[in-house]
Amino acid sequence: MRRFSAWPVLIPVILLLIAPVWAMRIPAIDFDVKVTPRAGVVQTINIQNFAFNPQTLVVNLNDTVRAINNDGVPHTVTSDQGLFDSGTIRPGKSKQAVAKRRGTYPYHCSIHPFMKGTIIVQ
């Protein structure tokens, strides 16, 4: 008689439990994209006079978020919750990201923490 094995049941249960944790590893706003996104609208955050404009940016899932630094000093777009980070955006430069998860994401500039903004992905 074969012994009953719990693994055929346990393995799917374990996969179901780790799936949400695995999904959280994908950045909500992904600055690591290397390719030009095929779909989605480009939405711009203009960084000027030590402020993010618009302060609240509403985008759709898979839209591209482009942060343009029009100041004379470097800035960053850094998630308050540690979910994304543009790294340093030098004066006159821009960085792009793709909105990959719905939610409300407050961010700041890591160099000038008083600079604050929010990206809403709907």
Work out how close the CB of 115 gets to Cu ion at its nearest, in angstroms, rounded to a whole number.
5
Cβ(21)–Cβ(76) under 8 Å? no
Work out how close the CB of 114 gets to Cu ion at its nearest, in angstroms, rounded to a whole number.
9
**Does position 119 bind Cu ion by CB under 5 A?**
no
Using CA atoms, how far apart are residues 115 and 75, in angstroms rounded to an integer?
Answer: 9
Identify which of 119, 30, 114, 108 has the alpha carbon closest to the alpha carbon of residue 76: 108
Work out how close the CB of 74 gets to Cu ion at its nearest, in angstroms, rounded to a whole number.
7
Cβ(71)–Cβ(109) under 8 Å? no
Residues 58 to 97 in contact with Cu ion, rule: CB under 5 A? 75
Q: Strand 51-53 vs strand 42-48: parallel, antiparallel, or unpaired?
A: antiparallel
Tokens of 89: 């955006």
In this complex, which beta carbon is closest to Cu ion, that of residue 101 or of residue 112?
Answer: 112
Instruction: Please give the size of the binding site for Cu ion, defined by CB under 5 A.
Output: 4
**Does position 109 bind Cu ion by CB under 5 A?**
yes
Nearest residue to Cu ion, scored by beta-carbon proximity: 109
Backbone φ, ψ for residue 7 (5° rounding): -60, -40
**Does position 111 bind Cu ion by CB under 5 A?**
yes
Selected from 62, 112, 116, 118, the binder of Cu ion by CB under 5 A is 112
Binding site for Cu ion (CB under 5 A): 75, 109, 111-112
